[in-house]
Structure 1
Amino acid sequence: MSVKKRVASLLLALGMLATTAPAFAADTAEAAGELAVQKGAAISKNVAAEDYSYIKLGASVKGQSVVAGNTINFALVEYDNGRGGQRYVCTLYKGNKALDTFVEAFEAEEGLYTSVLPLDTDGMSTGTYAIEFYTQYYANNKWNTVSSTKSRENFTIVKKAVGLNGISLVDGNGQKVTGVTIEKQENASAFYDVQFNPQNTTVNREVTVISANNNIVEAEDLAGTVGIYPVNYGKTTVTVEVSGKKTAINVFVPNPNSSNVIDLFSDVNTGDWFLDYVQYAYDKGIMKGVGNYRFAPNEPLTRAQIAQILYAQAGSPAVSGEMKFTDVAQGSWYYNAVLWASQNGIVTGYANGMFRPNTNITREQLARMLYAHAGTPAVSGDLNNFADGAKVSNWAKDAVIWAKEKGIIKGKTVNGKLCIDPQGNATRAEAATMMKNYLG
């Protein structure tokens, strides 16, 4: 079975219905029968689970006001079960009055179809209209309507045009989306609505969708709902344009068979200053991702995470004994790491007997843990070359000096000055950097 893009023309005019014969395009990107679209995305039903079909109108119809004489594009998704005797019905309403009806039989071949049909509003008076779809199957000598496939959308014909300020892509919850990760597997896809600003704009809403690399992903417009389908592994961009206004979405198709962090994480790219450090940490098995194919290089590191990193670097040895921290529960993913780090003097916790595993670790705390891991060797030197060297806590001063002398900490530029930023949160990229400088 395959997904087919059904391209049909439908001209509806007040009191008169004219249609042209549908033209069928080549197969598009994804397999059909078991299509399960991402939960919460614009097209959210498993169409194959419906006995007959599911109709989804494109974003370009929803609540649209259109200047009389323009064209509205709308889309539908239909699943043909291959048994024959199926059709869809499209009706144009003004208020509650049905004006015209268009009926088209399904293809005989089983599969999923997407259709884009233009509505020509030439000759239609101003006012509120609606387009209604549903599917029917033939049984017991009659056509039976599948109520679950009913879909109805309103639109308004106006006289005065409203300009377009910009567009964006949004998910099923109306949240703006600038990036998506899609696993390369059968039936994989993502759908996002084009959101117009203002939403009642009356410009031509014809959407142009361009994938920067069709060898990685293919993309199409379903009347304002953008469909994205993975073809191969990699990273690329899909650009969407409406009436000269553009937006883009970064698309990542991870390669689970690769050991290259660029192929594994959506947020690690060629040219990133931390690329080599993240690759080192990953290769050594001391840092992995945070889920959903993200390394989260700019997110803060927690105290539990650094304990786990050092524990993994030590080979994750077996541990036993009593946990002295009251807030580290047995069975937690970091329990063994914290117990090991505590028993080896790498972490000491707080005066109230707590470890605070989920508290973000500061740069000076991280230096102190690495210093303890190294056995607290004797140090010499100072922090005079750092503009904020005097802000380092007394308990961390030797550790930070040691880290500086070993090249583990090299500082950062803040307002044109070299700083340590001792109380600033250490990010995961900075932790990977310090681990490579320390161990490598």
Structure 2
Amino acid sequence: MKRALSAWALALALTIPAALPASAAAFSDVAADAWYAQAVEEVTAAGLMNGVSADAFAPDAEVTRGMVVAVLWRLAGSPQAETAASFPDVTAGDYYAEAVAWAQSAGIAAGRADGTFGGSAPVTREELAVFLCRYSQHMGQQTAEGVLDQYADAGDIQSWALEGMAHAVGAGLITGLEGNILDPGGTATRAQLAVILQRLLIPAVG
């Protein structure tokens, strides 16, 4: 997993002006034949994700918890939250503050065991699955029931993430990796998030 980009650069990816190129072809690090190229094209055109600079998308960079909530908030139409987030580590100056406030009130973001949100922490694949499941539930969509025991590491999924992972797998949002594993504790990349958002856009515009 590449870690060359700093946290501020990744945060910038969600806040840079829309005037920057919204085309996968404009990103020097997104090859035209990359498995995620079309997804990058669609999600940047939709304004859900941006590049980390005018000509870089950073497809292999890790996704943070704050980024996930921010893009889901955008996908929902950037609704205004009635109250601020109550997490002690989320301040008004955080780029994801309004998104987290919405996600908390909508039951999408419940925070971590210590009461914090951890917006700058890399999101694990099972955490991402839970966010996706709760988002679908909030939007009134039927949750899927994927079969998890077909994966070699299904037993590694934590109990609190089982429903979320079953939905994400059943809905085709999260797929297995090489070696027939789900890697629930592994981190998600920006390329993977772009593909997931592309899949979420299908019912959104259909």
TM-score, normalised to structure 2, is 0.81
How far apart, in 2, do the equivalents of 1:364 and 1:333 lie? Answer: 23
Amino acid at match of 2:91: A
For the pair 1:436 / 2:198, whether they are aligned, the reply is yes
The SS at the match of 1:390 is helix
Rate the CA distance shift 1:259–1:432 in 2: closer, same or farther, 3 A. closer
Q: Who is 1:285 aligned against?
A: 47
Q: Who is 1:260 aligned against?
A: 23
Structure number with the higher strand fraction is 1
The SS at the match of 2:180 is strand
Q: How many residues align?
A: 181
Q: Who is 2:5 aligned against?
A: none
For the pair 1:305 / 2:67, whether they are aligned, the reply is yes
How far apart, in 2, do the equivalents of 1:297 and 1:381 lie? Answer: 27
Amino acid at match of 1:365: E
**8 A Cα contact 1:345 1:372, kept in partner:** yes
For the pair 1:363 / 2:128, whether they are aligned, the reply is no
Unmatched segments (≥5 aa) in structure 1: 1-255
Superposition map of 1:9-408 within 5 A: 259-263=22-26, 265-375=27-137, 377=142, 379-408=144-173
Structure with higher Rg: it is 1
How far apart, in 2, do the equivalents of 1:284 and 1:322 lie? Answer: 26
Amino acid at match of 2:24: V
The SS at the match of 1:419 is coil
Rate the CA distance shift 1:421–1:321 in 2: closer, same or farther, 3 A. same
The SS at the match of 1:374 is helix
**8 A Cα contact 2:22 2:50, kept in partner:** no
- Shift of the alpha carbon at 1:382? 2.6
The SS at the match of 1:288 is coil
Query: Sequence identity of aligned pairs in percent?
Result: 33
Deviations 1:107-156 (A, max 9, x none): xxxxxxxxxxxxxxxxxxxxxxxxxxxxxxxxxxxxxxxxxxxxxxxxxx
Rate the CA distance shift 1:378–1:274 in 2: closer, same or farther, 3 A. closer
**8 A Cα contact 1:362 1:426, kept in partner:** yes
Amino acid at match of 1:388: D
Unmatched segments (≥5 aa) in structure 2: 1-18
- Shift of the alpha carbon at 1:290? 1.7
The SS at the match of 2:82 is coil
- Shift of the alpha carbon at 1:292? 5.0
Amino acid at match of 1:311: W
How far apart, in 2, do the equivalents of 1:438 and 1:360 lie? Answer: 21
The SS at the match of 1:412 is coil
Structure number with the higher helix fraction is 2
TM-score, normalised to structure 1, is 0.39
**8 A Cα contact 2:63 2:189, kept in partner:** yes
After the TM superposition, list the runs of 4 or more consecutive aligned residues in structure 1 that deviate by more than 6 angstroms.
Answer: none
